[in-house]
Structure 1
Amino acid sequence: MPEPRLPAMLDDLRELVCCESFSADHAAVARSAEVVAALGARLLGTAPQTLVSGGVTHLRWRFGSPRVLLLGHHDTVWPMGSLASHPWSLDGGIARGPGVLDMKAGLVQLFHALATLPTLDGVCVLVNGDEEVGSPTSRQLIEETARDCAATFVLEAAADGSGTLKTARKGTGRYEIVVHGKAAHAGQEPHRGVNAAVEAAHQVLALAGLRPTDTGTTVTPTLLTAGTSRNTVPARARLAVDVRVPDLAAQRQVDALLRGLAARTPGARLEVLGGSRRPPMEPASSAALFALAGELAAALGQEPPRGTAVGGASDGNYTAAVGCPTLDGLGAVGGGPHADTEHVEVAWMVPRARLLAALVERTRTGTGGRHLPAKAV
């Protein structure tokens, strides 16, 4: 098979990074989709389907009856105009720029890897435009596609600078506790009010004291707002809660605990909104593919990758939850996602593209032996 070429990969990476694609700006995401579509069409030999849902632009390539799903996203967390303060740069083997690691380099590796294969029969590529906000308009598309596939490879960045694959991800929940109190004049008759801010403080402490059975579960109060003016007893407060869980049992337990919270302030009332977002990606979903990755890396002369569980979620959570074996973290190697230090170590780009190509080819043809997921045998 032909080898991916780093100079061409870097040219494509620069073009993707320089097309900003903040998730909240649907017009920018649409422009980004055009750039990604052109890149994919050039390297894969065919244009994608352009799918717009809720104003968000997604791209899909399908070759024959899909057996292998390659999953990525082209939106980023970086607001429009971030290129002015975080310009594209390539210096000392380090590439920088908005979204360079999460996950535009992963997309470049994806397309260049597939371009080396003799045929793409059985491959589906899905690049969505709303992953960074939870994939609200693309989740159904992702799940429907994954249900019919033997494997999903997710091009999110590796877990650290040594190329560690992500073999498990926590599930997520986003909740909001709304405290209903009663307004009153803070100076003349505060006793006539029901202070929602005080009750919200009780709930922060209650959340900090929750003791889920699973020690890997985290329940974290985050945003807190209350009141309307300095001299009014707050009639309402809102408290955001971030939840991370290692498995479905823990997800159900935390949901029950949050919905069972009780007000401590006489006259106050609680309303619990939101709920579970992404299901957990449990280790069993990646075990066979991770073993295969180690075997293929050794055959390529690469050090077999390590695997790790991470707290952050991705669209791989959705594919694993519908029963499709999923291996995540096959994208770029670097650090600082979503931060000023976001960067890619470009020396890893060709080796990771070669490993991805080998994984796709072995899984596409169903010749993975004992390492192939049950669906693929």
Structure 2
Amino acid sequence: MIDVDTMVDDIRLLVECESPSADPDAVARSADVVARLGEVRLGVAPERIVVDGCTHLRWRLGEEPSRVLVVGHHDTVWPIGSLASRPSVVEDTPRGRVLRGPGSFDMKAGLAIAFHAAAGLSGVTLLITGDEEIGSPSSRALIEEEARRAEAALVLEASADGGALKIERKGTSWYRLEITGRAAHAGLEPERGINATVELAHQVMALGGLGDSALGTTVTPTVAHSGTSANTVPGSATVTIDVRAGTVAEQQRVDAAIRALRPALPGASLVVAGAINRPPLESRAAADLFERARAVAQRLGHPVPGSAAVGGGSDGNFTAGVGTPTLDGLGAIGGGAHADDEHVLVDTLPDRTLLVRGLLEDLLRVGAA
């Protein structure tokens, strides 16, 4: 029996401890709250793992060897002070009760679902990390190590629209292109300069041609900077680049193409920093688990969840990347991730928790193979 009001209280407790990824002290405070709540719900304290100043939590549940990995994160994109303008509240709406607050949907409600779903089970490892929103730089090795030991990985990230489970995620790559030209007085002797802004324009156009819409590959120049003053030929410029691709082959193709960029202006130079970050979560990694989840929903008499392919990455990319069957999007149903209207549909929490519980029991009973 799932007590929805208790779950709401748990989520609000987590949301009201702000945890922006880039603030290690805030993440450590959040880890304390998550650890205390998890100990109450699971009956055992977690192992606290600090890597490069970032705090992660790991529970080993039961006496049996762990067979299933449950993954979540407690960091958010929201800066300290966000609660002042976006307080954690529960409202009555035409869609039923809605819980709002920064980080509620992505993904503190998923943590509450994980705690309530895994309580009393044996053979489960629950890993909650503190740096997912910035690419998991300190937790990636930990996630991959745990995934290699597991028969299956369940990721409690928020659902896709309508509660759909995420069976595909694009892989992500991040780059920074640094351009060096030559500064000169823009009025007196512009001909002596090598204009880094002009070179930047050439490179942005070249980058725009590296995507492949048929394959869903996107190459997006994002933040750009150049120049120092209005009357100076810019001597340097930078642009950051976001790459999303559905296959490892596409990631590697774009990586090679970015590293092969050459200056358009004589005398300019380029330096590429960055690399492939997350491998893709391809549908074949999720296919069996997705069908199991649908069968569990049918047995429970719940609506059978659909599937979705999404562009955003998660730690499920890493678990799938090491060959572990992975199903993502098992967390809260709602919307507005990273946005002002972030929210969770309260009335869906019990069914979602029972779905995760049923899937865990199914995997522990008959194995993931």
TM-score normalized by the length of structure 1: 0.94
Match of 1:285 in 2: 285
C-alpha separation between the residues in 2 aligned to 1:211 and 1:366?
A: 43
Cα shift at 1:208: 1.6
Alignment of 1:136-285 (within 5 A): 136-160=137-161, 162-212=162-212, 215-285=215-285
- Aligned partner (choices 27, 30, 36) of residue 28 of structure 2: 30
Q: Residue type of the partner of 1:347?
A: D
**Contact 1:4–1:113 (Cα < 8 Å) also in 2:** no
Q: CA deviation at 1:25?
A: 1.1
Q: Does 1:113 align with 2:117?
A: yes
* 2:42 corresponds to: 44
Comparing 62-71 with 313-322, greater Cα deviation is found at 62-71
CA–CA distance in structure 1, aligned partners of residues 302 and 74 of structure 2: 28
Task: Please say if 1:9 is aligned against 2:10.
Answer: no
Give the partner amino acid of 2:240: A
- Displacement after TM superposition at 1:214 (Å): 5.3
5+ residue gaps, structure 1: none
Distance 1:290 1:194 in 2: 55
Per-residue CA deviation, residues 256-313 of structure 1 (Å, 9 max, x unaligned), is 1111112111111111111111000000000000000010100000111101110000
1:352 maps to 352
- Contact 2:211–2:219 under 8 Å retained in 1: no
Alignment counterpart, residue 57 of structure 2, candidates 52, 56, 59: 59
Q: Tell me the distance in 2 between the aligned counterparts of 1:354 and 1:210.
A: 44
262-271 vs 76-85, which deviates more? 262-271
Q: Provide the rounded CA distance (Å) in 2 between the counterparts of 1:151 and 1:253.
A: 29
Cα displacement (A) at 1:316: 0.2
Aligned partners of 1:272 and 1:19: how far apart in 2?
38
Corresponding residue number in structure 2 for 1:321: 321
Pair 1:97 & 2:98 matched: no
Q: 3-state SS of the aligned residue for 1:66? A: coil
Runs of 4+ in 1 over 2 A off after TM superposition: 209-215
Mapped partners of 2:308, 2:205: distance in 1: 32
User: Is the Cα–Cα contact under 8 Å of residues 213 and 250 in structure 1 kept in the other structure?
Assistant: no
**What secondary structure sits across from 1:277 in the alignment?**
strand
Which amino acid counterpart does residue 35 of structure 1 have in structure 2?
Answer: V
Aligned partners of 2:123, 2:86: CA distance in 1, in Å?
A: 39
User: 1:182·1:195 contact (CA, 8 Å) conserved in 2?
Assistant: yes
Q: Map Cα deviations across residues 57-104 of structure 1 (whole Å, 9 max, x no partner).
A: 100001332100000000000000000000011011000011000001
Contact 2:21 2:131 in 1 (8 A): yes
Conserved? CA contact 1:212–1:254, under 8 Å:
no
Q: CA deviation at 1:202?
A: 0.8
Unaligned runs of 5+ in 2: none
CA contact (8 A) 2:70 2:156 kept: yes
Aligned to 1:135: 136
Residue 48 of structure 1: CA displacement?
0.3
Which residue matches 2:330?
330
Q: Whole-Å Cα distance in 1 between the matches of residues 223 and 31 of structure 2?
A: 32
Give the match's secondary structure for 2:185: coil
- Alpha-carbon distance between aligned partners in 2 of 1:254 and 1:34, rounded to the nearest angstrom: 41
CA separation of 1:137 and 1:297: change in aligned 2, threshold 3 A: same
Contact 1:170 1:247 in 2 (8 A): yes
- Percentage identity across paired residues of the two chains: 55
* CA 1:154–1:204: 2 relative to 1, 3 Å: same
Q: Supply the AA of the counterpart residue of 1:208.
A: G
The 2-side partners of 1:211 and 1:341 are apart by 31
- Structure-2 residue corresponding to 1:125: 126
Partners of 2:334 and 2:122 lie apart in 1 by 31
C-alpha displacement of 1:158? 0.3
Q: Please state whether the residue corresponding to 2:232 is helix, strand or coil.
A: coil
Maintained 8 Å contact 2:215/2:246:
no
Instruction: Give, as a single letter, the amino acid of the residue that structure 2 aligns with 1:105.
Output: A
3-state DSSP of counterpart to 1:286: helix
Alpha-carbon distance change, 213 to 248 in structure 1, aligned in 2, over 3 angstroms:
farther
Paired with 1:67 and 1:317, the residues of 2 have a C-alpha distance of 19
Alpha-carbon distance, 1:211 to partner: 4.8
Deviations 1:163-191 (A, max 9, x none): 00000100001011111101111111110
C-alpha separation in 2, matches of 1:23 and 1:259: 29
Please say if residues 333 and 345 of structure 2, whose CA atoms lie closer than 8 Å, have aligned partners that are also in contact: yes
What is the Cα-based RMSD across aligned positions, in Å?
1.1
Q: How many residues align?
A: 363
* Deviation, structure 1 residue 213: 8.4
- The amino acid of 2:25's aligned partner reads A
Paired letter, 1:258: I
